Amino acid sequence: MFEIWETNEPARLISDAGTLEVALEKVDTMCRLRHDQAVAHIGDTREHYHFEIRDNAGKALARLSYAPDTSRSYQSVVIEEMRDPHPATDR
């Protein structure tokens, strides 16, 4: 089990996830939401957002700082290597 936290002050639990892949997708969704809000100038439009993925003991496994770039369309913060940490080897 994983927890997704937004660690700006005050820190808040966003969601939980059963797998790391789902946790990464949820962080990506939060970044997309923050980007869309910044483009539309709605909601809390901070310059930087901080997220953590924590294990069930509360230990941070991954941290991400995200700053929306409103000069371009959203690009995922999750790279392919993070989605598939065990790619097939060349044969």
**55: Cβ contacts below 8 Å, ≥ 6 apart:** 1, 2, 3, 61
Residue 9 pLDDT: 86
Structure tokens at 80: 């392919």
Residue 42 pLDDT: 81
Residue 90 pLDDT: 46
Domain ranges of the chain: 2-83
List per-residue pLDDT tens for the chain, 91 residues long.
999 999 988 999 999 999 999 999 999 999 999 999 999 988 666 689 999 999 999 999 999 999 999 999 999 998 765 656 555 554 4
| Residue 8 burial (10 A CB sphere; 0-12, 13-18, 19+) | middle
